[in-house]
Amino acid sequence: MAERFATIDVGTNTVLLLVAERGPDGAFRAVEERMELTRLGRGVDETRRLAPEAIDETVRAVDAFAAVARDAGAGHLVITATSAARDAANGGEFFDRASRAAGAPVEVISGGAEAQAAYESARRDFGAAGEPLVVLDIGGGSTELTYGEAGEVAFQRSFDVGAVRLTERWLRADPPSPAEVASLRSDLAATLRDAPRPPDGARLVGIAGTVTTLCALSLGLESYDGSLVHGRRLAAAEVRALARRLAAMPLAERRRVPGLPPKRADVIVAGAEILGAVMEVLGFDELTVSDRGVRWGILYQRFGATP
């Protein structure tokens, strides 16, 4: 059997597993991918602490995914944690428990390192020769922007606006009131105002659950299929239309929308607003959707593959 590697990406909202094997040509092929929505970052924006139940759920997911990776024959495992764990005063408790459960250290990575991993993933799939890339990673607690060309990063920044963070900060009514949505948009405008203009001719690539979910809804998929989403184009006008439609629905109705995971229904409005705001500020009419992301970027960075 070919050598196999695994990465686990612990985010504010989700835990993602990738098990991949290296082929004779040096390229990686996924043999197992899984996702669990555990909401590790619930309440962190207000309390700066991880909730005990969020730690429990996320530790169980990391433990289960580490077991899946080993059962699949992965001889190498990297576990990384991002925004919620960076921000929480009691993040050390999560790291200790998750590391013991998984039998491997859980590493906290900076916003810059998270952006670099997202860029590396997008570059492998969409980095055509001479075409600049702008990579957008909307997470639960933060949003990363990375500009690069020919494998070299020119700009990267992590902004403290994510789908979970902004939902908890602004969207209290059910459905969200127009005033709440307006306040969220003002927060986004102030946060993103320093983002530099993208390079001429750049392509925008969006990764992570907000982007892939909105693409699946746009396509009318009743159940998610990454092969149908990866590489698709999503127009800014469609993003704004989806944001308006979803914001008008009570949460119970959103949870019944085909193609929208029920556990993501409460944060998808804020996620769609983030995506729409970034596209507007940067001047993009469309983006390319990536079903991959940080877990793939970490795989490339730690274990190498053909460029």
3-state helix, strand, coil in the chain (%, to 5): 45, 25, 30
Could you read off the pLDDT tens digit of each residue along the chain, which spans 307 residues? 789 999 999 998 999 999 999 998 889 999 999 999 999 989 888 899 999 999 999 999 999 999 999 999 999 999 999 877 887 899 899 999 999 999 999 999 988 888 889 999 999 999 877 789 999 999 988 899 999 987 788 999 989 899 999 999 999 999 999 999 999 999 999 999 989 999 999 999 999 999 999 999 999 999 999 999 999 999 999 999 999 999 999 999 999 999 999 999 999 999 999 999 999 999 999 999 999 999 999 999 999 855 4
Give the residue from 54, 65, 124, 47 showing the smallest Cα distance to 93.
Answer: 54
**Rounded to a whole number, what is the largest CA-CA distance in the chain?**
57
- Per the listing, tokens 């979803």 go with 246
Give the residue from 100, 103, 56, 99 showing the smallest Cα distance to 81.
Answer: 99
Angle (deg, nearest 10), helices 91-102 and 52-71:
30
Give the residue from 202, 228, 203, 205 showing the smallest Cα distance to 217.
Answer: 228
CATH (one of 3.30.565.10, 3.30.420.150, 3.40.50.300, 3.30.1780.10) for 127-289: 3.30.420.150
Q: Which residues pair with 19 in a beta bridge?
A: 6, 32
> For 56-104, what is each residue's pLDDT tens digit?
999 999 999 999 999 999 999 999 998 778 878 998 999 999 999 999 9
C-alpha distance from residue 26 to each of 22, 151, 180 (Å): 6, 18, 50
Residue 221: exposure state from Cβ atoms within 10 A (0-12, 13-18, ≥19): middle
Q: Tokens standing for 199? A: 């390079």
Around Cβ 230, how many Cβ atoms within 10 Å? 16
CATH for the stretch 4-108: 3.30.420.40
Can you list the pairs that 261-268 forms with residues at least 24 positions away whose Cβ atoms lie under 8 Å? 261/37, 261/213, 261/224, 263/37, 263/39, 264/13, 264/37, 264/209, 264/213, 266/167, 267/13, 267/140, 267/163, 267/164, 267/167, 268/163, 268/210, 268/213, 268/214
Using CA atoms of 58, 60, 61, 66 in order, give the dihedral in degrees to the nearest 10: 130
Find the length of the chain.
307
Domain boundaries, the chain: 4-108, 127-289
| pLDDT score recorded for residue 26 | 87
The Cα 218–Cα 208 span in angstroms is: 16
C-alpha distance from residue 141 to each of 1, 5, 158, 243 (Å): 39, 27, 10, 19
Are 4-108 and 127-289 the same fold in CATH?
A: yes
| pLDDT score recorded for residue 305 | 53
C-beta separation of 143 from 161 below 8 A: yes
Backbone phi and psi for residue 225, each to the nearest 5 degrees, phi listed first = -140, 105
Residue 103 corresponds to which amino acid? G
- Sign of CA pseudo-dihedral 160, 164, 169, 174: positive
Residue 75 corresponds to which amino acid? G
| pLDDT score recorded for residue 307 | 44
Q: Please tell me what DSSP assigns to residue 72.
A: T
> For 100-119, what is each residue's pLDDT tens digit?
999 999 999 988 888 889 99
